[in-house]
Structure 1
Amino acid sequence: MSAPVSGTVFADVIGQGQAVELLQASLETQRLAPAYLFCGPHGVGRRRTALRFLEAVLSGRVQGGNLAQRRRLEEGNHPDLLVVEPTYSSQGRLLTAAEADGQGLKKRGLPQLRLEQVRDVGRFLARHPLQGQRSCALLDGVERLNEAAANALLKTLEEPGGGLLVLLAPSRSHVLATILSRCHVVNFRALCPAAMQQVLGGLERPEGADPPELLALAAGSPGQLLHHRQQWQALESDQRELLEQPLETPHQALTLARNIAERLDLEQQLWLIGWWQQHLWRGGYGEPSLIGTRIRDLERLHRQLRGYVQPRLAWEVTLLSGLAQR
């Protein structure tokens, strides 16, 4: 027999008492909406809470459970749960971020939730469940819906059938109003320092304390702190040295621009812009008005890269502009 899970299904969700209380009440009264939207920062427990909620929906009970079923849900192997994430398109195949990293894919753009993925969700929710109480789907990264996929999702929400759909997004502003109006919204919040420590306490830490820029970027999200640690550690030592020192000459600026554009993929470059903005605020390089101008330049660079401007040229213009302002 499978080992039992003690307490409620939400026992390992930390720092999200209000969301858990709302979901637990819905489960206990069996007043479930056909679609839920979990809104909050990345890495604060939205996905874990969604999986625990769906575990209770599929099993029909809030208390207890078993580890084998929980493992199947977390691995996406339960026959009545479909988990969908943003994907990259490569040689006619759709790859999640983890699959793309595993295959060493050079990521030229950002992942998307695509039309064919959303259509799969609609078909899945319309089918009869095989083991659980109903068919369920978890759609992660709703902010990455392209236009065609958003229209298809709206159609699914208008005709939900007997299934249950949970959407994850960073905030309400990332979701179309027509989709938002058809979902029961559950809000998640950043964690306090004590809750952060509780979540991260059992995990291996890098040598030394986290750089202040990483803590600021995490903004109360344990998952984001782990992500930022990984991004920072992925930079090579010479890249870190170039980044941490103020640029002095046009040659340094052009060298750094080439280095970033050739050695970092688009997601890493976008992450680096956020890190650099925090670094400028904390480093105090120049007058406050000059720092503000440079941070706005980096924000413009962020928009340009997301708009598929040629990365090396965009970095060169931004870095040389920063030198000229000194």
Structure 2
Amino acid sequence: MSSAIHPHSAPDAGTLRAFHCVVGHRLPLQLLTAAISRRTLPPAYLFVGTPGIGKSIVARCFSSAVLIPNSEHLATDRSPRQSPELKNHPDLLWVEPTYRNRGILIPVSKVRREGESFPSSPQIRLEQVKAISQFLARSPLQSPRFIVVIEGAERMNAVAANALLKTLEEPGNATLILLAPTVESLLPTIVSRCQLLRFHPLRAGELQAVLERAGHGDIGVEIRAAARGSAGRAIALHELTRSLPDGLLPELLQPPSRPSRALEVAKTASLLAFETQLQLADYLCDLVWQQALDAERVRIWARARDILSRKVQPRLVWEVALIQLLSNSTTLAPSPAPALQQLAPKLVIGNW
């Protein structure tokens, strides 16, 4: 699906005000404001880019421009994320991945806000896709059309993704916006029904401007370098480093001094929330490369991250990674073979 939108169509002042809080992403904003001004909105958009890069805030600004174009808050510095008008708008449905706990779906934002943790990864489920269909079955109450935003669309399970196809084919008087990190993370049949907008990493100055606006201008150079042009990732990594047990990060950045110490550090890391462990392993890849340019150590942490995501027993994953780091660091020193021999059964894990 492809709507012919000229990026240089002149948007009106109200539409431009809706996007006043966005830093960077010039081409996507040109395309979106032109579509709004010309009233040529497609049935579905797919916003693709690194998590935390600004896709969500652009989706909120777009929703504001379409649903409440004359709202007073657009003339202020308030982000649409803070707008009660948008949050409570009857023609906007915001869908996000959920955890299932005793039959109840809990949004990932609520889990993060309250500091809870679950052993599994969140998903967008069939029940949520059915709720979208039910939402679109009625007529809009206050606006000419509906807006449905699906955040974390890559987390749709197969059943939910297939159910969404019918809605994308016949959305009625609505525009759906799917947010995902890559095109490849979604079914090709879903991608083909959306107009694709790519969001690129922020430049250094843009990243700093967003961080300062969010009250995080003091985030260090190492974290900003690991953020990959994503303000959301920079803030998340900053919060991660502050939440870790004292001394854990330095211990993970260096090969352990002995096998017994490797097991102790692995136990500490495995007690973190599951999503925190994934985030930590990913951050270690960046830090090791920044500090040592050590491709082998980066490979070990990248593999640990990938295997953690497959729900392998976390403590075992950390043990194997740390023992491998120790083994690599002692290739020219006396071999720790006796201690490593005790771990031999554990080291036999597929794809390591």
TM-score, with normalisation over the residues of structure 1?
0.88
Partner of 2:94: 83
Partner of 2:71: 65
Aligned residue runs from structure 1 range 125-136, under 5 A: 125-136=136-147
For residue 67 of structure 1, what is the amino acid of its counterpart?
A: H
The answer as to 2:268 corresponding to 1:270 is: no
Q: Is the 8 A contact 1:108 1:266 kept in 2?
A: yes
The answer as to 2:245 corresponding to 1:236 is: yes
1:256 offset after TM fit, Å? 0.6
The answer as to 2:21 corresponding to 1:18 is: no
Spell out, residue by residue over 1:257-315, the C-alpha distance to the aligned partner (whole angstroms, 9 max, x if none).
Answer: 101112x111111111112112222332xxx7xx3233222222222211111111121
The answer as to 2:179 corresponding to 1:168 is: yes
- Give the alignment partner of residue 206 of structure 2, picking from 183, 195, 213: 195
- Give the alignment partner of residue 130 of structure 2, picking from 119, 123, 128: 119
For residue 272 of structure 1, what is the amino acid of its counterpart?
A: L
Distance 1:52 1:73, change over 3 A: farther
1:244 offset after TM fit, Å? 4.0
Partner Cα separation in structure 1 for residue 219 and residue 111 of structure 2: 30
Q: What are the ranges of 5 or more consecutive residues in structure 2 without an aligned counterpart?
A: 1-13, 330-352
SS at match of 1:79: coil
Partner Cα separation in structure 2 for residue 231 and residue 179 of structure 1: 33
Q: Is the 8 A contact 1:85 1:139 kept in 2?
A: yes
TM-score, with normalisation over the residues of structure 2?
0.82
Aligned residue runs from structure 1 range 132-211, under 5 A: 132-205=143-216, 210-211=220-221
Which deviates the most, 313-322 or 195-204? 195-204
Partner Cα separation in structure 1 for residue 152 and residue 172 of structure 2: 23
RMSD: 2.2
Partner of 1:254: 263
Partner Cα separation in structure 2 for residue 224 and residue 35 of structure 1: 26
1:210 offset after TM fit, Å? 1.1
Partner Cα separation in structure 2 for residue 141 and residue 194 of structure 1: 27
Partner Cα separation in structure 1 for residue 85 and residue 195 of structure 2: 22
Partner Cα separation in structure 2 for residue 223 and residue 103 of structure 1: 18
1:6 offset after TM fit, Å? 9.6
Partner of 1:309: 312
Q: What are the ranges of 5 or more consecutive residues in structure 1 without an aligned counterpart?
A: none
- Give the alignment partner of residue 45 of structure 1, picking from 43, 50, 54: 54
Aligned residues: 311
Partner Cα separation in structure 1 for residue 15 and residue 177 of structure 2: 24
Partner Cα separation in structure 1 for residue 160 and residue 186 of structure 2: 12
For residue 156 of structure 1, what is the amino acid of its counterpart?
A: T
Spell out, residue by residue over 1:124-182, the C-alpha distance to the aligned partner (whole angstroms, 9 max, x if none).
Answer: 12220111111221110011111111001111111211121111111212221100000
1:17 offset after TM fit, Å? 1.2
Partner of 2:341: none
1:249 offset after TM fit, Å? 0.6
Which deviates the most, 295-304 or 129-138? 295-304
1:37 offset after TM fit, Å? 0.8
Partner of 1:217: 226
Partner Cα separation in structure 2 for residue 114 and residue 219 of structure 1: 30
Partner of 1:279: 287
